[in-house]
Amino acid sequence: MQTEYTRDEMLTCSIAREIPPVGIAAQGIATPLVSAGYHLAKLTHAPELTISYTVGNTFSKELLPISLRNYETMTIGNALMKWSFMEAATQYLHHLKPWIEFFRPAQIDAYGNTNNVVIGNYKNPKIRLPGCAGIADVTNYLENIMFYIPRHNKKTLVEKVDFVSGFGWQRDGLSRKDMGLPEHGPKKIITELCVFEFVEGRAQLLSLHPYSSLDEVKENTGFSFELSNNFHITEPPSSEKLHLIRTKIDPLGIRKIEMLSGAARLSYLAEIIHKELRLL
C-alpha cells in the first residue's frame, strides 16, 4: 500500500530524480524545496554530489538537516572551497563537473522564457520582483537548466512573460541561434501538478502527478500544450524516500514555506522559528 504523501514531498522527489549521480547542483537563495531535493539525491543515488551554495559562495559535500538557524554552518562551515559570484555566473567554474541548476520563476512561458524582474510594464510595474541575479547569464550557456513551480497557476505559467530575465528557446520568433546563443535551452518544468519537458523548444506535458488531472493542469496553465510521446503518470515517492525527507532531511518542514504565500507563509514561518528556538 502506497504511503500518503504531500505535494511538497512530490516536488522534492521529482527534483531529486533529475540530479545526476556525479556533478554539481547549484542552490539559490530561499529555495528549501530545491535543497531538500538535492539532499535526497545525495542520500540515495548521488552520494558524490557537490552542492554549490549561493549563501556563503561555497562548494560543499556535507549535509545537515535543513534549518533556519544552522544554514551557514552547512554552507560555510563545511565548505570545500569558496567562489565569487562572478565565477559562478560565468563559465569559469562550469567546466569542473556536470552542472545542474533549478530556478523558481515568477513567470514562465511555453518556450522557457522566465521573468523575475517586474509584473506589468517595466517603467511602471504593478509589482517589482527581487531580480534575476545570475539567471540572465547562466540560462544563456548552461546545458542543464530546470524550473520548478510550487504553486501551479495561470499567473505563473503564462502565454507571454512581462519581461525576459532568463532566455529560453525562443522569443518573438527569434531562436537561440538567431541570438548567437548555444542551441541548448532549458530541460523541464516541475510543478506541484505535473512535469513539462521541452520538445523542439516548446513545453509538452511529460507526466501528471497521481493526484492531479489533465483538466486541472489545463485550467491552471496560461499557455496551450501537447502531450509528450513519453507521457506517463509521475512515479510517487517511496516510503523510504518519505522517511528520509521527514526524519533526516527536513524534519521541521521548512520546504513547505514555498507552497504558501502571503499571511499563510508568515504564519508558518513563525511556527518554524518557534520550533527551532525550542531546540536551543
pLDDT of residue 239: 96
At 78, is the secondary structure helix, strand, or coil? Answer: coil
Distance CA 194, CA 205 (A): 7
Q: Is the pLDDT of residue 3 over 80?
A: no
pLDDT of residue 93: 62
pLDDT of residue 227: 98
Please name the residue that has the C-alpha cell 519581461. 163
User: In this structure, is residue 113 part of a structural domain?
Assistant: yes
Please name the residue that has the C-alpha cell 523558481. 104
User: What is the domain count for the chain?
Assistant: 1
The average confidence (pLDDT) of the chain is 91
Q: Which domain holds residue 40?
A: 7-278
Taking a C-beta distance cutoff of 8 angstroms, is the pair 210, 204 a contact?
A: no
pLDDT of residue 97: 67
pTM for the whole structure: 0.93
User: In this structure, is residue 14 part of a structural domain?
Assistant: yes
User: In this structure, is residue 2 part of a structural domain?
Assistant: no
User: In this structure, is residue 1 part of a structural domain?
Assistant: no
User: In this structure, is residue 225 part of a structural domain?
Assistant: yes
Distance CA 49, CA 96 (A): 13
Distance CA 198, CA 175 (A): 14
pLDDT digits (tens, 9 = 90+) for 219-275: 999 999 999 999 999 999 999 999 999 999 999 999 999 999 889 999 999 999 988
pLDDT digits (tens, 9 = 90+) for 113-125: 999 999 999 999 9
Distance CA 41, CA 267 (A): 30
User: In this structure, is residue 57 part of a structural domain?
Assistant: yes
Q: Cell for 151?
A: 504553486
Phi, then psi, of 28 in degrees rounded to 5: -85, -160
At 157, is the secondary structure helix, strand, or coil? Answer: strand
Q: Are strands 79-82 and 144-149 parallel, antiparallel or unpaired?
A: unpaired
Which CATH number fits the domain that encloses residue 147? 3.40.1080.10
89 confidence band (pLDDT: 50, 70, 90) = low
pLDDT digits (tens, 9 = 90+) for 164-207: 999 999 999 899 999 898 888 999 999 999 999 999 999 999 99
User: In this structure, is residue 21 part of a structural domain?
Assistant: yes
pLDDT of residue 1: 43
User: In this structure, is residue 56 part of a structural domain?
Assistant: yes
Distance CA 172, CA 169 (A): 11
Taking a C-beta distance cutoff of 8 angstroms, is the pair 144, 183 a contact?
A: no
